[in-house]
Amino acid sequence: MRKVFLVALAVLMLLPLTGAFAGGEKDDGVVTIGANIYSFQDNFMNGVIKPEMERYSSELGVKLDIVDSEGQQAKLNDQVDVFITKGVDVLAINLVDPASAASIIAKAKAADIPLILFNKEATEAGAMGAYDKVWYVGTNSAESGIIQGEMMVADWNANSDWDKNGDGTVQYVMLKGEPGHPDAEARTIESVKAFTDAGISVDELALEADPNWSTAHGNDKMAIWLTSAFGKDIELVICNNDGMAFGAINALKAANVQLPIYSVDALAQALQHIADKELNGTVLNDGVNQARATLDLALNAAMGKGAVDGTSWVLDTDGTKAVRVPYVAVTPLNFEDFR
């Protein structure tokens, strides 16, 4: 009789552990999402996407465990291992290094946990095809640069006095952002290509990358450029995100210089700079809907449903398993609509 009791006790002791690590819904019926932000120092990720993920997860009734990867891919790898050990139902991962997607996908596949990559798309060929339970939520990287470029071309054509030396060529400087980041690379190319496509010649006076997309970096580089040998020749400032543009604006104000300046993200501060006539335009990087799409797909995946079932999101038809949230031009004519 004592043996039967001990066996029954052993089985009962194991039951909670089985429930904790089996995947799917927990015993309390709440789906747990293990998520990260590549760096809480990023204005856009920490100021828009993270708070909306926290708010929307409460609305959906899911548990969100979100961590800071501090710009370190190795740290993110460890965080994913911890999430898997905890037995989360689904992973929502903002890659630090887009070229390291395969390792994250392999971890999720080995643990049979669905994975939603968001905001930074895998750059490794075939990485997404290695696992049937991985999807991506983000944007069409080129689109933001195209929209920004179209705004700049239209304004350049409408303001002949911007061509300070009258040579018909746009002398510009650019704050690029993170080297290798799909958004930074695409924006750098497409924003300038809009001028050449319109038959306007360009002259790049300086280009500077910044892995942190930071305001401090934008301020420092713009201040240096303004005092350089080509400082008086600058006719246009192109910034691949609002954060760097804020720094550039600070440097321009400190030097009592006004130049056309454009950026991407449409953060609240950027809208105020447009109102104050210190920023000529930005492009809405719709972090709110990126956050919502990420959690909608994560919840569906955790429940074993189709990724976009019951939602308004649409997967790309090219087999990339991606939801693309569109960009929107924000100008002095419409910025109030985005406040």
Q: Give yes or no: residues 148 and 275 share one domain.
A: yes
Report how far residue 137's alpha carbon sits from residue 261's, in angstroms, rounded to the nearest whole number: 29
Q: How distant, in Å, are the alpha carbons of 171, 204, 226, 281 from that of 230?
A: 10, 11, 8, 24
Residues 170 and 214 in one domain: yes
CATH of the domain at 104: 3.40.50.2300
In what helix (H) or strand (E) does residue 170 lie, and over which residues does it extend? strand 169-177
Check whether residue 134 and residue 155 sit in a common domain: no
pLDDT computed for residue 17 by the predictor: 34
Determine the Cα–Cα distance for residues 222 and 149; give it in Å rounded to an integer: 20
pLDDT digits (tens, 9 = 90+) for 100-112: 999 999 999 999 9
State the chain's mean pLDDT as an integer: 91
In a domain, 338, yes or no: no
pLDDT range class, residue 249, cuts 50, 70, 90: very high
How many contiguous H segments (helices) and E segments (strands) does the chain have? 11, 12
Provide the pLDDT for residue 19. Answer: 32
Average pLDDT over residues 195-207: 98
Count CA within 13 A, CB hemisphere, residue 245: 31
Is 330 contained in some domain?
Answer: no
Question: Does 84 fall in a domain?
Answer: yes
Higher pLDDT, 17 or 247: 247
Which range, of 6-20, 118-132, 163-177, averages the lowest pLDDT? 6-20
Mean pLDDT of 17-24: 35
**What is the rounded CA–CA span in Å between residue 106 and residue 100?**
10
Q: How far is CA 225 from CA 13, 21, 273, in A?
A: 67, 55, 21
**DSSP per-residue string spanning 96-127:** SSGGGHHHHHHHHHHHT--EEEESS---STTS
The answer, yes or no, to whether residue 9 has pLDDT greater than 70, is no
Evaluate if residue 302 carries a pLDDT over 60: yes
Q: Is residue 246 part of a domain?
A: yes
Pair 194, 110 in one domain: no
**How many CB atoms neighbour CB 99 within 10 A?**
14
Asked, for residue 332, whether it belongs to a domain, the answer is no
Cβ-contact 15, 105 below 8 angstroms: no
Rounded CA separation 155/22 (Å): 57
Share of the chain above pLDDT 70, in %: 92
Q: Which residue has the higher pLDDT, 27 or 192?
A: 192
198/274 same-domain check? yes
Q: Tell me the C-alpha distance between 201 and 210, whole Å.
A: 26
Whole-number Å distance between alpha carbons of 135 and 306 = 11
In a domain, 334, yes or no: no
Is residue 309 domain-shared with residue 185, that is, in the same domain? no
Distance CA 325, CA 323 (A): 7
| 12 pLDDT more than 80 | no
Are 60 and 157 part of one and the same domain? no
Nearest partner of 204 among 240, 234, 248, 179, judged by Cα: 234
CA atoms within 13 A on the CB side of 177: 24
Residue 23 reports pLDDT greater than 90: no
Query: Average pLDDT, stretch 1-17?
Result: 37
Could you tell me whether strands 115-118 and 90-93 are parallel, antiparallel, or unpaired per DSSP bridges?
parallel
Residues 146 and 274 reside in one and the same domain? yes
Dump pLDDT digits (tens) for 235-244.
Answer: 999 999 999 9
Q: Are strands 282-284 and 328-330 parallel, antiparallel or unpaired?
A: antiparallel
Q: Return the pLDDT at 13.
A: 37
Q: What are phi and psi of 102, to 5 degrees?
A: -60, -40
Q: Name the packing angle between helices 141-158 and 182-197 (round to 10°).
A: 30
Same domain as 200, residue 126: no
How many Cα atoms within 13 Å fall on the side-chain side of residue 69?
Answer: 26
Tell me, what's the pLDDT at 318? 84
Name the domain count of the chain: 2
Q: What is the pLDDT of residue 7?
A: 37
Name the DSSP letter for residue 228: S
| Confidence band, pLDDT 50/70/90 cuts, at residue 1 | very low
85-102: average pLDDT: 96
- pLDDT tens figures, 227-237: 999 999 999 99
**How confident is the model at residue 24, as a pLDDT?**
43
Confidence of residue 304 (pLDDT cuts 50, 70, 90): very high
The answer to whether residues 157 and 261 belong to one domain is yes
- Give yes or no: residues 191 and 317 share one domain: no
Answer whether 160's CB lies under 8 Å from 205's CB. Answer: no
Tokens of 155: 């304004």
Is 339 a member of any domain? no
Range of the domain at 83: 2-139+287-325
* pLDDT value of residue 28: 66
On whether both 98 and 62 belong to a single domain, the answer is yes
Decide: residue 98, CB within 10 A, 0-12 exposed, 13-18 middle, 19+ buried. Answer: buried
